[in-house]
Chain A
Amino acid sequence: MGYKAKFRVWRGEGGDGRLEDFTVEVNEGEVVLDVLHRLQATQTPDLAVRWNCKAGKCGSCSMEINGKPRLGCMTRMSTFTEDETVTVTPLRTFPVIKDLVTDVSFNYQKAREVPSFTPPAGVKPGEYRMKQVDVERSQEFRKCIECFLCNNVCHVIRDHEENKPNFSGPRFLMRIAELDMHPYDVADRKQAAQDQHGLGYCNITKCCTEVCPEHIKITDNALIPLKERVVDRRYDPLVWLGDKIFRRRSEKTS
């Protein structure tokens, strides 16, 4: 049943800190977050860690476990051997406040830069009619629990702090895709995706998809389709010519 596990937890305030070693009890069926809670209750009452639902639905307990971005509540201890040392560190891409808690305000800033859902004028609440097949793509993206693991793992900002002003990260590029595919949204989002949100920085190396705890196919279903929509608008002379000749209205209406 229970055993003593070896844990190494990053502790510190601001950026300064170190990995501290702990030996802590682990019981059957527990997850990493349970063990961190036991540390709080028995050894380090002030160990800072964010968490809420403990069921993989709120996306609060994002951390890096043995170097991999994960949710603490969704990482079962049974995935490690009993003599394995489990190393827990804060998200690397964001500044540390204390221990495992990072300042994720970057994400809230970027969220505010994406223009909101823009329905056509004159549609009143209750009058919306949408077919299931037409909302399914956007619904997949709305499964997002905003754990920001995708933005954390993305090398564009993880390895290059200087790209932060120009790149919104997979989470918010996916939000743009979600709105662009919404059957009632009329805003043109393609130019902004490329110019303001840095879609061109994405080199589709798919780490966002790999770490997504909701298993959203971020790259294949959001980022690549969005890149293709941008190509429609900016890099496809045939489409451009067709639009000019036939004065076609925006793709939004089709």
Chain B
Amino acid sequence: MAATTSEVRKQRAQIGVRTLRGDRWWLAPLGTFAGLTAWLLYALIRTATQSNYWVDGYNYLSPFSSPCVSASCAEGARHFGTWLPEFPPLIPLGILVLPFLLGFRLTCYYYRKAYYRSFWLSPPACAVAEPHSKYTGETRFPLIAQNLHRYFFYAALVVSLINTYDAVYAFFGKNGFQMGLGNLILLGNVIMLWAYTLSCHSCRHITAGRLNHFSRHPLRYRMWTWISKLNAKHMQLAWITLGTLALTDAYIGLVAADVLPDLRFFN
């Protein structure tokens, strides 16, 4: 038999199971699924109820309802003016920017990984077969729209400015400078939002990533190195900001509903 010419047939190893991984690979996508779903439900309920988003006097405005520019908003919360008539029930008061914020996060390079893996199971984990029989990725509509991330980033910059204004605005009441625990929470939230927004891959690209000669643009290169460091923490920042957003909204909600008294440091 040794002298006969053997033909090598070319096909993949026929291994019946979907994966030979024995570790708990399903834990991470399950956790992501649970975390994102819980957050979305919370945000949906909170925004749809149109209530307890504003603490008068302390000037706390929940980021979910900012900017509050419709006639449905509490008088004090309309610090950018009243641009829209009254909203019917169930419509979030921050509807003007929420699509952009949602879009920014939906097209974010980290969140894409997170939900492709945990919601769409494409793939659920590395070296675990996905259940779909066809796959075209982001080559065609609708997913080709993921390439619009950059525009959502520009919009997110504007929203971050609004959130910053809200946080600063809350420090100035009728009697001048004031500060409570809510101010610190708002401020912390805004700082994390900026960190998340600036750590975006598109931002990294715009600062200098698109250049081929860093050495000819020293300032942009410095910015790029700085953003690159932040970018390495994009995933962590994505989750931290979900946390701070929910925490900020919940705190303001509890104070507005008089469930919790705000801890005041100053005025």
Contacts and interface: CB of A to CB of B under 8 A. Distances in A.
Contacts of B144: 200
B127 A153 contact: yes
Contacts of A206: 113
B123 A204 contact: no
Contacts of A153: 126-127
Nearest to A211: B126
A103 B150 CA distance: 40
Interface stretch (A26-34, A53-61, A115-123, A156-164): A156-164
A201 B13 contact: no
A92 B15 contact: yes
Q: Chain B binding site: helix, strand, loop or mixed by DSSP? A: loop
A15 B126 contact: no
Contacts of A188: none
**Which residue of B14, B148, B212 has the most chain A CB atoms within 10 A of its CB atom?**
B212
A183 B213 contact: yes
Nearest to A229: B210
B216 interface: yes
Given A153-B127, A201-B136, A134 B214 contact: yes
Interface string A198-231: 1011111111001100000000100011011111
Contact of B205 (A155, A202, A225): A225
A68 B21 CA distance: 6
Given A15-B14, A153-B126, A183 B212 contact: yes
B10 A103 contact: yes
Contacts of A68: 21, 126-127
Contacts of A16: 9, 14
B88 interface: no
Interface string A176-189: 00001111000000
Interface in B128-151: 129-130, 132, 134-139, 143-144, 147-150
A97 interface: yes
A14 B11 contact: yes
19 contacts: A12-B13, A15-B9, A16-B14, A66-B21, A95-B12, A97-B10, A133-B221, A159-B123, A159-B129, A182-B212, A203-B143, A207-B127, A228-B150, A228-B210, A229-B205, A229-B210, A236-B150, A254-B211, A254-B212
Interface of B: 6, 8-15, 19-23, 109, 112-113, 116-117, 122-123, 126-127, 129-130, 132, 134-139, 143-144, 147-150, 201-202, 204-205, 209-217, 221, 231-232
Interface of A: 10, 12-17, 64, 66-69, 87, 89-90, 92-98, 102-103, 131, 133-134, 153, 155-156, 158-161, 163, 180-183, 198, 200-207, 210-211, 220, 224-225, 227-232, 234-236, 251-252, 254
